[in-house]
Amino acid sequence: MNFLKGLFFVAITCAAYSCNEVKSQKTKVVENLALEKAEKQLSLQLKVAEKADRIPRTVNSKGEIHWTHNNFDWTEGFFPGSCWYLYEYTKDDKWKNAAEKFQSLFENHKYLTTNHDLGFVFNCSFGNGYRLTGNKEYVNVLTTAGDSLLSRYNPVVGCIQSWDVVNGWQSKKNWMFPVIIDNMMNLELLFELTRLTGDKKYEEVAITHANTTLKNHFRPNNSSYHVLDYDPETGAVRSKQTAQGFADESSWARGQAWGLYGYTVCYRYTKDIRYLEQANKIAKFIMKYEGLPDDGIPYWDYNAPNVPNEPRDVSAAAITASALIELDGYTSESYLPFIDKVLNTLATAKYTAELGKNHNFILMHSVGSIPHNNEIDVPLNYADYYYLEALMRYKKYKLE
């Protein structure tokens, strides 16, 4: 990777220190202080979660901790995933045991065929577990989850269906086969399963889904729609809309981050230059957007109507930072200055909670879905997960 293209905060501090001293000093800030503080905070959250035997998701409107739903929750894999990252960081079996305990609570969800988020759920938890332990039983869990995910694939459309449309608010949208940009994040599980099992069927579906999304989901400025609805019998696009953004033609911040991360992953596994080009295009849309705040933390939608009096979405920033760290290693152009800015911003008291506050979530000020009046300006377990991932990626790859 090309992380020697830049040094942390070099523009500010080179006048006072040598380059090696700058790298050493600023590395300490990110890797030791931010990770150390995160580990202390989640240690407190772990105690509460173990007592309740539940997985923390967010904080509700009453200021109480909100746990993941027992029957299924698309965010249930992130807390054990965070535990795996802290195990990787500390080598403390406390975190390994915690990850195994909490991912066991939803292992039977590997059989579910009614939700597209099995990639999120299982790759972040059991996938990280296998990466760090080599436990072959985890591969069996991942394979079953991957097979369940494949059941939602329609070869005529060339995509995995996101939401079912027979119940809930989705049934009121007149959708037939909705596909959301978020679904790009579920492809990593499929790519990884082909690597682990040698069976090409997983990769083939992932590639077809990525290609169909690349063809239809993006605007000329390289921002993405949130929801595309397809005709399941013809594969034709029926509509381009939003569900969690401000408007159909607006750019929902977390959706842009999902696309950036997803196409970076696609390039990792395939080395298809089209995916690298798309990831770079999305990165430039995010970084160069005229209304992006100076600190790099976006509003919940780039076209939200009351900027600057709109909530920020820290989750979008954390996802973006993690994706850019990987993408930086594939390009000749350095994204490190923007990465540094975002990571340093997230590490400030404005976005990182005091120890023991914020129901022991690491980060503050994320947004779930404003159109649904749900999880607005709250901590979210996936913001914490991708922040930890970004810090660990920065720690691991900065000198390669």
CB 338 within 8 A of CB 383: no
CA of 385: how far to CAs of 28, 102, 114, in Å?
Answer: 21, 15, 24
Token duo for residue 377: 């300006």
Give the number of C-alpha atoms closer than 13 A to the C-alpha of residue 250, restricted to the C-beta side: 18
- Residue 166 neighbours by CB distance under 10 Å: 8
Cα separation, 9 vs 23, in Å, equals 8
Residue 93 known to be catalytic: no
Instruction: Identify the active-site residue in 117, 313, 328, 340.
Output: 117
Cα separation, 72 vs 43, in Å, equals 25
CB 118 within 8 A of CB 189: yes
Instruction: Identify the active-site residue in 93, 147, 182, 377.
Output: 182
Residue 182 known to be catalytic: yes
Cα separation, 336 vs 358, in Å, equals 29
End-to-end CA distance of the chain: 5
Strand pairing of 178-180 and 153-154?
unpaired
Rg over alpha carbons for the chain, rounded to the nearest Å, is 20
**Residue from 291, 351, 354 nearest 318 by CA:** 351
List active site positions.
117, 182
